[in-house]
Amino acid sequence: MGNPSLLILPGDGIGQEVMNEVRRIIDWYGEKRGLAFDVSEDLVGGAAYDAHGTPLHDDTMAKAQEVDAVLLGAVGGPAYDDLDFSVKPERGLLRLRKEMDLFANLRPAQCFDALADFSSLKTDIVSGL
């Protein structure tokens, strides 16, 4: 059995900076813990638009569907604000979510009991979270 495969899509701006650090962590695990990954990288968002005229190239989408995991950085930025909606950087992210049948923005949450009454959600939903 081969190494798990990862596709890194750094995105734009801070997404690229964050994914550089993620790459360092992946490399560290390979060197120090013997946990190796087959890593490839491609473009998404504004970077993909600049290179290909689309926020997510079909070849990149195909790669994303073939790997074990996709690591996605932030997309977009002021340079792309005036683009037509159909080619805005965020459309690349939305295409990935749709074609890979993914959920959006699932994140860990914590709610202190003393603040449960102030949540926009019902108290019984967030109590003990």
Distance linking the first and last C-alpha atoms of the chain: 39
Cα 117–chain centre separation? 32
> Which tokens belong to 72?
């996605």
pLDDT digit string, tens, across residues 60-87:
999 999 999 999 999 999 999 999 999 9
State pTM to two decimals: 0.80
The per-residue pLDDT for 53 is: 97
pLDDT digit string, tens, across residues 9-56:
999 999 999 999 999 999 999 999 999 999 999 999 999 999 999 999
* Stated length of the chain: 129
Q: Where are the domains of the chain?
A: 5-126
CB 7 within 8 A of CB 42: yes
For residues 107 and 120, give the distance between their C-alpha atoms in angstroms, rounded to a whole number: 17
Sequence letter at residue 43: L
* Residue carrying the six token digits 């490839």: 40
